[in-house]
């Protein structure tokens, strides 16, 4: 049995001012499954899954939480689980 979907992780170091912009950019790309935000001590401070078809009103509370978080942290790391397709593998 072959697994057609796999995932990989990307990491971005951002400042508090850049968090919301980067999260919105990641969501616009459309292939993210989950986002984890960690503080300077590598402690998870926020984590949320992204479902297919999540738009506008569904994302608004998440954006509000990320915006509030931006006021509390100076530097953080955003980890993004992205789905990838295995193409051409047998």
Query: How would residue 54 be classed by pLDDT, with cut points 50, 70 and 90?
Result: low
What pLDDT does residue 5 have? 58
What pLDDT does residue 35 have? 92
Structural domain span for residue 29: 7-82
Q: Is residue 89 part of a domain?
A: no
- Are the C-beta atoms of residues 52 and 58 closer than 8 Å to each other? no
Q: Rounded to whole angstroms, how far apart are CA atoms 13 and 19? A: 9
Total-model pTM: 0.75
Q: Is residue 19 part of a domain?
A: yes
Convert the pLDDT of each residue in 57-68 to its tens digit: 567 778 888 888
Q: Is the pLDDT assigned to residue 77 strictly greater than 60?
A: yes
Contacts of 51 (CB under 8 A, 6+ apart): none
Q: Is residue 52 part of a domain?
A: yes
Q: Rounded to whole angstroms, how far apart are CA atoms 83 and 68? A: 28
Percent of the chain predicted with pLDDT > 90: 38
More confident residue, 43 or 62: 43
Task: Identify the CATH number of the domain in which residue 38 sits.
Answer: 3.30.1490
């Amino acid at each position: 049995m072959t697994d057609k979907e796999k995932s990989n992780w990307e990491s971005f170091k951002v400042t508090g001012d850049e968090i919301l912009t980067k999260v919105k950019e990641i969501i616009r790309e459309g292939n993210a499954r989950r986002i984890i935000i960690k503080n300077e001590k590598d402690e998870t401070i926020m984590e949320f899954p992204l479902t297919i078809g999540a738009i506008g009103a569904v994302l608004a509370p998440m954006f509000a939480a990320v915006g509030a978080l931006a006021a509390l942290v100076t530097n953080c790391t955003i980890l993004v689980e992205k789905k990838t397709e295995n193409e051409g593998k047998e």
